Amino acid sequence: MPPAAAPTHPAPTRAWESSFGLPLAAFATLALLASALGRSIFPAMVGAATGLAPWIERTQRLASILSQLVAAGGVALALRAVITTFSRTSLGVAYRMVVIPAGTAASVLAMAATGRVLEPELASALVVAAITTAAASAAVAVLAPGTRALGLALALTALAGALDFAGIRLSQVAVENGSLGVYRAANVVTTVGFALEVLLVSMAFGWLSARQSRRAVVLSLLSIVLVFAWGLALRGAAKPGASVWLVVTARAVTSLLRAPAPLVPPAARLVLEAATTVGAIAALFASRRAPVAALLALCLLARGATDIPLPALLLVVAALAVPAYVTAALRRAS
């Protein structure tokens, strides 16, 4: 299957770049940095060792600024796409009746989450809105050959996010009630979500390597190298007298492994995290010649974390942006 980056007609691609491509690529890059700092590096630095107070303060400030920029930019992109969706009757009444309220609700809740922690009911509503938007947009994205792969990526991200969210909720119920059986059920549900995430990343590697098969080998090797480096950090941090930054790196790596754990070895989970990171960065580089690749990067960054406001917003932005490109391509083709 040809990559989504090479539509037959150049005009839709230029229109896409002028209205969404460059902002989405920049937005995805900021999201990658904000995710790395806010969800991994900053939590790893807190309490890792003494003498890191200045670095912790700077990292927290930078992570906060980036998160607010991503939240504001994501909401702006999402609401702009909602307006575009409302004006395009070719998308159908049913699609617009689902996506417009869901996308708007997700945007409002994501913006509200930047200033405070959402109540459990509102957090659940954000997850449902994001998954609903992604699932509906996936059905539209598969209509055009240029975004068919992205439609599949949206569907896999939404389904995996729903299973991961269900696993988290089941694990919370299990802890509250002290039920081992419910917790095992949560592990099983999360394992199915893990399998879908593996399929998502594999599909992303295939899409990015559609014209050059050697690229898939390069991406796989980079993922292995990253896992190997993480393994060395984990082993070195366990030794007495390990350096502070080695300990921080090890804690940042372990923070990637969220509970409840799927029924797979921890090494397999690290491989998936490394491949996701490599795939997202590769997609950002590919977005210079294929603007749609930025949407693939957003799907990878949102993978497995739709219960967190920022990744949920990334999924909403990717979902709302795809139909805008689909309708432009279909209109030009006709």
Per-residue pLDDT of 227-256, as tens digits, reads 999 988 888 888 887 788 888 888 888 888
pTM value is 0.86
Spatial separation of the C-alpha atoms in residues 102 and 151, rounded to whole Å: 18
User: How high is the pLDDT of residue 170?
Assistant: 92
User: How high is the pLDDT of residue 14?
Assistant: 40
pLDDT grade for 5, boundaries at 50, 70 and 90: very low
Residue 291 has pLDDT above 80, yes or no: no
Residue 201 has pLDDT above 80, yes or no: yes
User: How high is the pLDDT of residue 199?
Assistant: 95
Residue range 271-281: mean pLDDT, rounded:
94
pLDDT grade for 58, boundaries at 50, 70 and 90: confident
pLDDT grade for 22, boundaries at 50, 70 and 90: very low
Domain spans in the chain, listed from the N-terminal domain onward:
10-333
Per mean pLDDT, which range of 3-7, 118-122, 141-145, 208-212 is the poorest? 3-7
Backbone torsions φ then ψ of 292, nearest 5 degrees: -65, -20
User: How high is the pLDDT of residue 223?
Assistant: 93
CA distances from 287 to 16, 264, 306, 319, 326 (A): 12, 33, 23, 17, 17
DSSP summary character for residue 143: T
CA angle 287, 80, 314 (to 5 degrees): 50
Residue range 119-133: mean pLDDT, rounded:
91
- Least Cα distance to 135 among 149, 156, 164 occurs for 156
Q: Residues 153-190: pLDDT tens digits?
A: 999 999 999 999 999 999 999 998 888 899 999 999 99
Beta strands in the chain (DSSP E): none
Residue range 22-47: mean pLDDT, rounded:
83
pLDDT grade for 25, boundaries at 50, 70 and 90: confident
State what percent of residues in the chain have pLDDT above 90.
34
What b-and-e string marks burial along 48-85, b requiring 16 or more CB atoms within 10 Å of the CB?
A: beeebeebeeebeebbeebbeebbebbbebbbbbbebb
